[in-house]
């Protein structure tokens, strides 16, 4: 499922299986994918996109804030003429 974040930006949130919906991603003009998870990733899913993977546990003690600058820069780059999927 591909859910657009409210607002004017071409920013979407979805699960890992969203990457298999190639037609929906194309229609949404997704050019960048930000992955925030610790699972091993099938690189073939990302071959059509610029990809940033943040390897972090889904745990309340995980220091996700340290990754904000890189994630924000990646999202800004993706929104400049394209779209971003965060999963």
Q: How many whole angstroms separate alpha carbon 31 and alpha carbon 26?
A: 8
Residue 34, phi then psi, degrees to nearest 5: -110, 115
CA torsion angle for 34, 36, 65, 69 (degrees, to 10)? -20
pLDDT in tens, the chain (87 residues): 789 999 999 999 998 889 889 999 999 999 999 999 888 888 888 899 999 999 998 888 999 999 999 999 999 999 999 999 999
């Amino acid at each position: 499922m591909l859910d657009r974040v409210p607002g004017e930006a071409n920013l979407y949130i979805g699960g890992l299986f969203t990457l298999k919906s190639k037609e929906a991603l194309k229609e949404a003009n997704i050019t960048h994918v930000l992955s925030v998870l610790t699972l091993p990733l099938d690189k073939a899913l990302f071959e059509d996109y610029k990809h940033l993977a943040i390897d972090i546990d889904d745990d309340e003690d995980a220091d996700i804030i340290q990754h904000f600058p890189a994630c924000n820069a990646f999202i800004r780059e993706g929104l400049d003429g394209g779209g971003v999927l965060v999963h």
